[in-house]
Amino acid sequence: MKEIRIHARAGQGAITTASILGYAYFLKGMYPYAFPSFGAARMGAPMNAFVRVDSHPVRLRSQIYEPNYLLIMDPTLMRGFNCFSGLKEDGIAIINDKDTGSLPKVSAKQKVFAVPANEIAMKTIGRPLGNTALIGAFCAATGELALDSLLEAIKKRFSGKAMEGNIESAKQGFEFIKNQLRG
């Protein structure tokens, strides 16, 4: 079983992110359970979305406290709140940020990646919606999902121009991390 926790503000597309991730796992024949947890249930309020995935149907309905992977959609959420709480010993975090300069120290086996997802989205979609770039980065950083599975999931979720932009976004997010890993 793998557990992913997404930190975002309401309106930033955390549920869309969770559903695209879940769908990509679903295409692999896995059994994902993607679900949100609303905070103040207002635009801009901190909220979480989660993906729990296994090779058989997921029965556990609680939120995720010890994630394998973290996706942080908005780096300002890390001010005054420990988004890294419970991250597994060998966990991986992907942050929508220009650099990892302001990140908290993590243990030796944990990895943190920063991807300028909003900048990528401004170029590819024309709006600062970094979700798909972030998931692209997730695929590259974790090796959990092939880029093709992700692109297929994006095709299912979007159509027309939005689809094209998001596919490009995901590819660039993926490549950004791949280059870092090569480097």
Please report, as ranges, the residues that interact with another protein according to CB under 8 A.
15, 18-19, 22-23, 26, 31-38, 41, 57-63, 65
Beta strands 92-96 and 111-115 are parallel
Question: Considering beta carbons, is residue 115 or 170 the nearer one to another protein?
Answer: 170
Closest approach of Cβ 58 to another protein, in Å? 7
Closest approach of Cβ 63 to another protein, in Å? 5
- Give CA angle at 31 (165, 154), nearest 5°: 5
Closest approach of Cβ 16 to another protein, in Å? 11
Closest approach of Cβ 177 to another protein, in Å? 25
Closest approach of Cβ 129 to another protein, in Å? 20
Question: Considering beta carbons, is residue 42 or 109 the nearer one to another protein?
Answer: 42
Question: Considering beta carbons, is residue 64 or 73 the nearer one to another protein?
Answer: 64
Question: Considering beta carbons, is residue 18 or 77 the nearer one to another protein?
Answer: 18
- Give CA angle at 6 (37, 66), nearest 5°: 90
- The DSSP bridge partners found for residue 95 are 72, 114
What CA–CA distance (Å, rounded) separates 166 from 160? 10
Question: Considering beta carbons, is residue 37 or 76 the nearer one to another protein?
Answer: 37
What is the maximum alpha-carbon separation in the chain?
A: 43
Beta strands 31-37 and 46-54 are antiparallel
- Give CA angle at 11 (9, 12), nearest 5°: 65
Which amino acid type is present at position 52? R
